[in-house]
Amino acid sequence: MEPSLIASNEWVTLPDWMAIKRKRYTLHQTDEPEFVGMIPNLTVSVGRDAKFPCIVNNLDTYRVGWIRNEDKSILTIQHQVVTRNSRISLTQSEHKIWTLHIKNVQESDRGGYMCQINTMPMKSQIGYLDVTVPPDFINSETSSDVIVRENQNLTLRCKARGHPEPKLTWRREDNKPIEYGNWQLNKESGFEYPNTTEGEVIHIEKVSRLHMGAYLCIAQNGVPPSVSRRIVLQVNFPPMIWVPNQLLGATINDQVTLRCDTEAFPLSLNYWTKEDRSSSSSSSSSSTKGDEPDHGEIMIVNSDRYRIANQEQSYKVHMKLVIKHITIDDFGIYRCHTKNSLGSTQGSIRIYEIHRTPSLSSSSSTSSDSTIRPITISRKKEPSTARILGLNDSSNDPMNEEYYSSRTIGLSSSFGYLVQTLLVFMMITRLLAFY
């Protein structure tokens, strides 16, 4: 047999050399590094920390390294951190567990991380990092507060970023339904709008004052916290006015309350005036529209005689004027005025005097000498829009039917005798004509 040279400079036979090589190959196969388990995939919110453990058995003299899978950049080799990213570090335990730490995780850290052993061939495992991001609004693509004229078209927009993609939900702050699109036609067809709607855009055709208010765009993607954007919609329109009662009746010393309901935006300037009957121009001061009181009108302010109270509710104002202990000079025409930058209007209310009816007992006593009873006369009803204030019970209410059907007016003796005589004369004339 031919000898073979071994590193120890000893000569051995060929069969012996082959046995040594076989033994070394067997030992090499047994001691080769192996991964224990798999590297977990991580889902971490932005700003938190992430840890990737890599467990290796039988590492011996082999080395472990961490590599970024996307760009193949080397992060660590054995105990040394190679990357310049200060947020990345490495810990090692028992020459077996190699843990990659990523502090203050950012969106740019999203991707795969490879744990690699420098065997031949190379062995590796990959763990993936998913970075979740809570929703946030993109200001340049989100509507701010809006001011629009009534009957114009309107579009509200809301755009948010985040991971996963945020879902956008709209609702009104007052929890009323959101009437979008061709809302007038849809309502006429019986469509009922929901209190919420989803999407980035709300389009409203011919916006109305009914749409006025605050709208909330809520963005959520399952990563806390959810966020919302408040968008205030203001609808401008000229003033309008309604007068519940245009004709009021009252007696001396009664307290009378006048009411007007107005709607306007921007909010209107509201005030009361009274027609000055002593002015020569009072006859020309009955126009229904105007920016300022006519020369034949007097502006009313709070005083011992008058109390003014306005109740505001969004774009609505309920005007109220209370006249305390009405006198003869207080009867006449009053006007409620409302004006804003888009126009003005006014409504009128007339207060007329009601004379108190003489009591039945006094009229009976004056006619007690007569054998003819006083005649009952029905009183004519006031106009349907009239309201008589200051009477204590329902029997004195002119809106009550019994007021006109049961009230009698006692006549003075001289006038009563005259009427009775005329009636007797007419009855006798009719009887003679009949016979």
Q: What is the model's pLDDT at position 291?
A: 47
CA distance linking residue 310 with residue 269, whole number of Å: 11
Tell me: pLDDT of 392 over 80.
Answer: no
Q: What is the model's pLDDT at position 138?
A: 97
**Taking Cα atoms as reference points, which of 127, 126, 129 lies closest to residue 87?**
129
Tell me the percentage of the chain whose pLDDT exceeds 70.
74
DSSP 334-397: EEEEEEETTEEEEEEEEEEE-PPPPPHHHHHHHTTT-SSPPPP-PPPPPPTTEEEES--SGGG-
404-428 residue pLDDT tens? 333 333 334 445 566 667 777 777 7
Q: 101-105, 351-355, 393-397: which has the minimum mean pLDDT?
A: 393-397
Which distant-in-sequence residues (6+ apart) come within 8 Å of 339 by Cβ? 239, 268, 269, 291, 345
Q: How confident is the model over 99-119, as a mean pLDDT?
A: 96
pLDDT band at 95 (very low <50, low <70, confident <90, very high): confident
Q: Is 128 exposed, middle or buried (0-12, 13-18, 19+ CB in 10 A)?
A: middle
Q: 240-249, 360-369, 372-381: which has the minimum mean pLDDT?
A: 372-381
Q: Which CATH class is domain 243-353?
A: mainly beta
Enter the DSSP assignment of 173: T
Tell me if the pTM is above 0.85.
no
Q: What is the model's pLDDT at position 422?
A: 76
Q: 17-31, 74-88, 154-168: which has the minimum mean pLDDT?
A: 17-31
Q: What is the model's pLDDT at position 293?
A: 55
For the record, the structure tokens of 244 come out as 């519940």
Q: How confident is the model over 387-399, as a mean pLDDT?
A: 38
CATH architecture of the domain formed by 138-238? Sandwich (2.60)
246-279 residue pLDDT tens? 999 999 999 999 999 999 999 999 999 999 877 6
Q: How confident is the model over 25-36, as a mean pLDDT?
A: 68
For the record, the structure tokens of 325 come out as 């202990």
> How many residues comprise the chain?
435
Of 2.60.40.10, 3.40.50.920, 2.60.120.1440, 1.10.10.10, the CATH number of 34-133 is 2.60.40.10
Q: 53-57, 227-231, 253-257, 381-385: which has the minimum mean pLDDT?
A: 381-385
User: Would you say 349 and 331 are in contact if contact means Cβ atoms under 8 Å apart?
Assistant: no
Which of residues 82 and 7 earns the better pLDDT score?
82
CA distance linking residue 216 with residue 137, whole number of Å: 13
Q: 74-83, 121-130, 332-341, 353-362: which has the minimum mean pLDDT?
A: 353-362
164-195 residue pLDDT tens? 999 999 999 999 999 999 999 999 999 999 99
Q: In which residue ranges of the chain is CATH 2.60.40.10 found?
A: 34-133, 138-238, 243-353
